[in-house]
Amino acid sequence: MFPFVHLIKDLFIAPQQMSIDSLDTHVSHHVIWPWDLDAFAALNSSRAPTLYDLGRLGMGVHTELIATLRENEA
């Protein structure tokens, strides 16, 4: 299941932060919720790449990539 709570939080916070250049470093902080863990209290192996993707979405908003893609939509 895609972590909708993480996605909504990231997309709500990202536009409120300063824009960055595409070569700047983007740092995103994520909270690991109990449903992100498996039975052994370790991060679920399928959830880790999903959290990395959420970081990329935040960077897309920060670098104004999302706005540029919407402007040039064919």
Q: Write out pLDDT tens, residues 2-56.
A: 677 777 877 787 777 777 787 888 777 777 878 778 888 888 787 788 888 887 8
Read off the pLDDT band of 1 (50, 70, 90): low
Total structural domains within the chain = 1
Is 22 among the domain residues? no
Give the global pTM: 0.57
- Is there a domain that residue 55 lies in? yes
56 is in which domain, residue-wise?
A: 4-16+28-71
Distance in Å from the first CA to the final CA of the chain? 31
Per-residue pLDDT, 74: 64
Answer for the pair 33, 61: CB distance below 8 angstroms, yes or no: no
Q: How crowded is residue 58: how many other Cβ atoms within 10 Å of its Cβ?
A: 22
Residue 53 lies in a domain: yes
- Indicate whether 21 belongs to any domain: no
Q: What is the pLDDT of residue 2?
A: 63
